């Protein structure tokens, strides 16, 4: 594991930080926000995407580094180049997917915004449950054994697959049938979770160790910057066919949870205390489990049940693509800052504030 000391030393050699990420996922928002806060930006891009990332002048990075494949980023000479340019990498979902949490933790020597250790805790379902359920005491869907399926279950697979390939099962026979149609290496990573019936809310939080203006947590505070709901391929509209599960199955129409877009939502105001207190528990548990814990953006993916309880089925411990709805800030950010601030811009503000106070290593590791 790359030590915090090593990153701190690298940071001490830096000029004014340059905010950098892979041109994908939420990069436009990250670049736009960084530029709004006066930073230079650097886009890591494959040739085929250059035109797209040049097409939004306000969000266009000041400089591009072109790679043949994203795995090139891990090459020592490429890392050296990033360090020479005083790059701070903002990890987003595609960055984590292309490089992998373990390689970021062990082989990537370039300073990363946030605590790089968190990426493995969010990506590994056993660790994630230890964090959210055992340590933070959040309400989560039941973990179901394939030997004892006693409720409707959603079957998930490892990796940041964005819900692709997930399916529902009611008993062992159905599970075995469906798994037998999948590639063996994917099928063996299957985990079963109780399917929670309710309404989905995806909360965009920012934990700052540098300010106490938000909802108090750890040594800092939590800001709620937005909420979205994901649009997921066909699952959201299957009800329009008016068919029950058996009929859908007979017609080989399989539900798909693959994310296709995002919609803005506001939460019933009386649920906000629960949304904040769950986030606080997550932050404080993270500080105990992998100090200094989560830093910066994270998302709790929840279902609100008919008795108005939030059940958390997943955490994303970095900027999520749902924040792209609010590249000009959300209504919640307006309530917090008196102006609309995107998650990308909020990240840049944190780097700016930390650099100004000589504590960059508190938010960059
Ligand atoms: P995930 O990969 O965990 O983010 O899940 C992808 C999608 O599957 C979510 O956005 C939800 O729509 C759905 N989903 C995941 N877990 C559950 C659950 N336990 N109950 C109901 N829906 C779920």
pLDDT tens-place string over residues 57-109: 999 999 999 999 999 999 999 999 999 999 999 999 999 999 999 999 999 99
78 lies in some domain: yes
For residues 84 and 65, the answer to whether their CB atoms sit within 8 Å is no
Q: What phi, psi does 215 have (nearest 5°)?
A: -80, 120
> Ligand 1 in contact with 163 (CB < 6 A)?
yes
Are residue 201 and residue 342 in the same domain, yes or no?
yes
Are residue 153 and residue 25 in the same domain, yes or no?
no
In the block, tokens 């205390």 appear at: 273
Are residue 338 and residue 280 in the same domain, yes or no?
yes
> Ligand 1 in contact with 193 (CB < 6 A)?
yes
pLDDT mean across residues, the chain: 95
> Ligand 1 in contact with 229 (CB < 6 A)?
no
Report, as an integer, the average pLDDT of 185-195.
92
From 154, 192, 231, the mutation candidate for ligand 1 (largest count of ligand atoms within 8 A of CB) is 154
How remote is the CA of residue 276 from the centroid of ligand 1, in Å? 21
DSSP 130: I
Report, as an integer, the average pLDDT of 198-209.
98
How many angstroms separate the CA atoms of 88 and 95, rounded? 13
pLDDT surpassing 80 at residue 164: no
- Closest atom of ligand 1 relative to the 316 alpha carbon: 4
DSSP 328: T
85 lies in some domain: yes
> Ligand 1 in contact with 166 (CB < 6 A)?
yes
Output the pLDDT for position 254.
87
In the block, tokens 């300010």 appear at: 211
> Ligand 1 in contact with 201 (CB < 6 A)?
no
- Closest atom of ligand 1 relative to the 194 alpha carbon: 19
CB hemisphere CA count around 84 (13 angstroms): 7
From 164, 166, 230, 300, the mutation candidate for ligand 1 (largest count of ligand atoms within 8 A of CB) is 166
Are residue 151 and residue 9 in the same domain, yes or no?
no
Question: If pLDDT is split at 50, 70 and 90, which confidence band does 163 have?
Answer: confident
pLDDT surpassing 80 at residue 116: yes
Which domain, by its residues, includes 191?
143-195
> Ligand 1 in contact with 154 (CB < 6 A)?
yes
pLDDT surpassing 70 at residue 162: no
244 lies in some domain: no
Question: If pLDDT is split at 50, 70 and 90, which confidence band does 161 have?
Answer: low
Q: What is the CATH number of the domain that holds 324?
A: 3.30.470.20
249 lies in some domain: no
Output the pLDDT for position 133.
98
Atom 19 (ligand 1): residue with closest C-alpha?
195
251 lies in some domain: no
For 236-261, letters b (16+ CB in 10 Å) and e give bebeeeeeeeeeebeeeebbbbbbee
Report, as an integer, the average pLDDT of 259-276.
96
Output the pLDDT for position 159.
59
Are residue 173 and residue 214 in the same domain, yes or no?
no
Q: In terms of pLDDT, which residue wins out, 161 or 192?
A: 192
Give the global pTM: 0.96
> Out of 19-33, 48-62, 173-187, which region has the weakest mean confidence (pLDDT)?
173-187
Q: What is the pLDDT of residues 352-365, one digit of tens each?
A: 999 999 999 999 99
Number of domains in the chain: 3
How many angstroms separate the CA atoms of 332 and 36, rounded? 19
Are residue 219 and residue 339 in the same domain, yes or no?
yes
Output the pLDDT for position 302.
98
Beta-sheet pairing, 87-89 with 63-67? unpaired
94 lies in some domain: yes
How remote is the CA of residue 166 from the centroid of ligand 1, in Å? 9
For residues 121 and 92, the answer to whether their CB atoms sit within 8 Å is no
Are residue 293 and residue 165 in the same domain, yes or no?
no
How remote is the CA of residue 143 from the centroid of ligand 1, in Å? 13
Q: What is the CATH number of the domain that holds 157?
A: 3.30.1490
44 three-class SS: strand
Query: How many Å is the Cα radius of gyration of the chain?
Result: 21
Q: In terms of pLDDT, which residue wins out, 339 or 158?
A: 339
> Out of 81-90, 186-195, 332-341, 348-357, which region has the weakest mean confidence (pLDDT)?
186-195
Whole-angstrom distance between the N-terminal and C-terminal Cα of the chain?
Answer: 11
How many angstroms separate the CA atoms of 16 and 86, rounded? 7
Question: If pLDDT is split at 50, 70 and 90, which confidence band does 241 have?
Answer: very high
How remote is the CA of residue 188 from the centroid of ligand 1, in Å? 19
Q: What is the CATH number of the domain that holds 108?
A: 3.40.50.20
How remote is the CA of residue 163 from the centroid of ligand 1, in Å? 7
């Amino acid at each position: 594991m790359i030590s915090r000391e090593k990153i701190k030393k690298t940071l001490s050699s830096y000029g004014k930080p340059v905010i950098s990420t892979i041109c994908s996922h939420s990069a436009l928002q990250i670049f736009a926000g960084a530029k709004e806060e006066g930073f230079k930006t650097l886009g890591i891009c494959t040739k085929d995407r250059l035109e797209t990332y040049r097409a939004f002048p306000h969000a266009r990075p000041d400089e591009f580094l072109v790679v043949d494949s994203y795995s090139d980023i891990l090459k020592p000479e490429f890392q050296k180049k990033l360090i020479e340019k005083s790059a701070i990498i903002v990890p987003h979902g595609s960055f984590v997917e292309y490089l992998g949490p373990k390689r970021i933790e062990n082989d990537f020597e370039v300073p990363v915004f946030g605590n790089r250790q968190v990426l493995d805790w969010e990506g590994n379902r056993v660790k994630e449950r230890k964090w959210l359920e055992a340590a933070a005491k959040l309400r989560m869907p039941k973990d179901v054994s394939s030997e004892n399926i006693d409720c409707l279950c959603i079957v998930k697979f490892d990796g940041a697959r964005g819900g692709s390939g997930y399916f529902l099962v009611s008993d062992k026979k159905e599970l075995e049938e469906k798994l037998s149609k999948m590639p063996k290496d994917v099928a063996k990573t299957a985990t079963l979770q109780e399917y929670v019936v309710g309404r989905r809310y995806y909360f965009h939080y920012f934990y700052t160790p540098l300010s106490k203006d938000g909802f108090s947590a750890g040594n800092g505070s939590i800001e709620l910057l937005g909420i979205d709901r994901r649009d997921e391929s066909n699952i959201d509209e299957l009800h329009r066919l008016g068919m029950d599960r058996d009929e859908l199955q007979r017609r080989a129409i399989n539900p798909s949870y693959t994310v296709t877009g995002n919609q803005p939502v506001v939460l019933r105001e009386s649920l906000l205390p629960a949304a904040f207190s769950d986030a606080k528990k997550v932050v404080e548990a993270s500080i105990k489990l992998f100090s200094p814990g989560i830093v910066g953006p994270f998302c709790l993916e929840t279902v609100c049940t008919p008795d108005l309880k939030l059940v958390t089925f997943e955490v994303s411990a970095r900027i999520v693509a749902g924040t792209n709805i609010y590249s000009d800030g959300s209504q919640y950010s307006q309530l917090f800052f008196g102006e609309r601030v995107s998650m990308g811009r909020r990240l840049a503000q944190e780097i700016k504030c930390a650099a100004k106070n000589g504590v960059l290593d508190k938010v960059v590791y």
